[in-house]
């Protein structure tokens, strides 16, 4: 957490099995990880939006590396996640 964006190299190289089981690719995993971690740098927290279930797209800030629950892999922020934060400055 902070201004640095840190990526787990083992997962960068190989993603996680449940990601592939859900039909997504390594390139999509890498896109998700970068976007998720940049989300943290912007002030977003893990799992701040609940998974909608029923194979809806997972929220970007869901910990998709850990679990998909009943959601589908998703690489970009959902519309509901596109709120802005004001880290270190006044709105
Ligand atoms: Zn996270």
pLDDT in tens, 10-50: 999 999 999 999 999 999 999 999 999 999 888 889 998 89
pLDDT at 43: 85
Give 31's DSSP letter: H
Instruction: Flag whether pLDDT at 90 surpasses 80.
Output: no
**CA 47/CA 59 separation, integer angstroms:** 8
Q: Near ion ligand 1, which residues have CB within 5 Å?
A: 46
Beta strands in the chain (DSSP E): none
Å from CA of 61 to ligand 1 middle: 6
> Tens digit of pLDDT for each residue in 70-80?
999 999 999 88
pLDDT at 11: 94
Å from CA of 78 to ligand 1 middle: 15
pLDDT at 88: 53
């Amino acid at each position: 957490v902070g201004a640095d964006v840190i990526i787990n190299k083992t997962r960068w190289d190989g993603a996680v099995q449940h990601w592939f089981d859900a039909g997504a690719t390594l390139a999509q995993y890498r896109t998700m990880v970068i976007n998720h971690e940049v989300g943290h740098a912007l002030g977003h927290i893990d799992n701040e939006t609940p998974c909608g279930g029923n194979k809806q797209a997972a929220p970007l800030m869901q910990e998709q590396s850990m679990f998909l629950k009943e959601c589908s892999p998703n690489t970009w922020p959902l519309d509901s996640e596109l709120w802005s934060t004001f880290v270190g400055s006044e709105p």
